[in-house]
Amino acid sequence: MDILMNTILVLIVIIAGGITTLPLSIGLLTVDAVVFRKPWVFSLALGLGLFSDLTTMGILGYSSLLFTLYVFLVFLYERKFETRTVVFVFISTFVGSAIYLTLFAYRIIWSQALINAIIWAFLFKAISKFEFNDKTIEE
C-alpha cells in the first residue's frame, strides 16, 4: 500500500510539474519525509530535482541540491518538533516553496507558496487517515 501510494504521488508530481509552476516536489518530499522517515527520500529528492531541472531547462543539480538540503532540514527538525501534524506540513511546505520560488526568480511567490502548502496539507490529512497506524509506519 505504501509503495503504491508513493508511486501514484510521484507520477502526479511529475505530470503536474511539467504543466504548472507550483513546486509540488517540495510538498511530496515533505509528506514522504514525515510519513515514511526512510533514507530513500534523499534519492527521491535527487531524482525529482534532476527532473525539475530538465523540464525547466535549468542548471542540472541546482534543484537536486535544494531538495536534498530541504529533506535534510525536515529530518533534522524531526527530533525537535512533532512532525506528524498538518501544521508542520503546512508551514514547512510553505517555507520550502517560498525559498524555491525565490531562488528560481518566479513571480507571485507568496500566493504560489500558499496554494502549494494548502494542497499538500489537505493531501497529508487524507493520507494520514490511511497511513498513520504505528504498525504500518514504523516497519
**Does residue 138 lie in a domain region?**
no
**Does residue 139 lie in a domain region?**
no
**Does residue 48 lie in a domain region?**
yes
Residue 133 has pLDDT above 90, yes or no: no
**Does residue 77 lie in a domain region?**
yes
Looking at the chain, the whole-number percentage of residues with pLDDT higher than 90 is 9
- Report pLDDT digits (tens) over 16-64: 666 777 788 888 888 888 888 888 888 888 888 888 888 778 788 888 8
| Residue 57 Cα distances to 11, 53, 108, angstroms | 20, 6, 21
pLDDT at residue 16, rounded to an integer: 67
- What is the rounded CA–CA span in Å between residue 63 and residue 69? 10
- What is the rounded CA–CA span in Å between residue 139 and residue 89? 22
CA 56 from chain centre, in angstroms, equals 18
**Does residue 94 lie in a domain region?**
yes
Count: domains in the chain: 1
pTM: 0.79
Residue numbers of the domain that contains 11: 2-131
CB atoms near residue 48 (< 10 Å): 23
**Does residue 34 lie in a domain region?**
yes
**Does residue 33 lie in a domain region?**
yes
